[in-house]
Amino acid sequence: MTTTDMALKTSTTTKTSFMEEVIAATPGESRLNYCIQCGTCGGSCPSGPDMDHTPRALFAMIRAGMKTEVLKSNTPWYCVSCYYCTSRCPQEIHITDIMYTLKRMAIDEGYFRESTAADAPGFSQTFIFYVENFGRSFEMGLATAYKLMHHPLDMFAVIPMGLGMMAKNRIDIIPKRIKAVDQLKSILKKAKELEAQL
């Protein structure tokens, strides 16, 4: 075996082992190995513009064995668990669950810093507000509130995209409530009570 062959074998082992580590650490079947790099996830993400790597790029980095770069990335921290990417993924990859795995790994490896997710609390609070009051996320309101709070000058840059999405019926202008939202509110209230007891 030549030196090049040995280097390639070592490189492949490293790449595979990090991907296997992420897959093994993700509850259920992550389906990460089925990623076809189509970019639907990043195109669906309301916080995509603020991520330093799109989910697609992050998955390619995982496959390439770039553990340090992946765990230092802000991408998982901007995920608000809306599951929009997961629901639109043609390969049914559990993207949101993988983001949770990467957050846990980043914390365990000591890569998490409070500044990593500086804007995330406000974004998450806005997301939670919509879920608690309407039972689902409202992308238009979520993105607008986030941009106004954290990046007001960027609002003008995203207007063409927003108008294009509205023209194609891909985004709602006003939030829509789920049926029996009162039942959801009761469940969430009970969950908060239980969490307070921990």
pLDDT (tens digit per residue) in 77-126 = 888 888 889 999 999 999 999 999 999 999 999 887 654 445 566 777 78
Whether residues 19 and 101 fall in one domain:
yes
Domain boundary among 115, 149, 176: 115
Judge whether residue 131 has pLDDT over 60: yes
Whether residues 106 and 170 fall in one domain:
no
Residues with Cβ within 8 Å of 194's Cβ and at least 6 positions away in sequence, in order, are none
**Of 112, 46, 55, 113, which Cα lies nearest the Cα of 82?**
46
Domain boundary among 115, 140, 155: 115
Whether residues 103 and 17 fall in one domain:
yes
pLDDT band at 44 (very low <50, low <70, confident <90, very high): confident
Whether residues 3 and 56 fall in one domain:
yes
Question: Can you give the pLDDT at residue 160?
Answer: 85
Range of the domain at 108: 1-115
Whether residues 91 and 8 fall in one domain:
yes
Whether residues 104 and 160 fall in one domain:
no
Judge whether residue 5 has pLDDT over 70: no
Quote the CA–CA distance of 99 and 64 in Å, as a whole number. Answer: 17
- pLDDT tens digits for range 66-78: 999 999 999 998 8
Q: How far out from the chain centre does Cα 172 lie?
A: 21
Whether residues 100 and 16 fall in one domain:
yes
Q: How far out from the chain centre does Cα 8 lie?
A: 32
Whether residues 110 and 180 fall in one domain:
no
Domain boundary among 62, 80, 115: 115
Quote the CA–CA distance of 18 and 24 in Å, as a whole number. Answer: 10
Whether residues 71 and 50 fall in one domain:
yes
- Structural domain total, the chain: 2
Q: What is the CATH number of the domain that holds 51?
A: 1.10.1060.10
Whether residues 9 and 93 fall in one domain:
yes
Whether residues 107 and 129 fall in one domain:
no
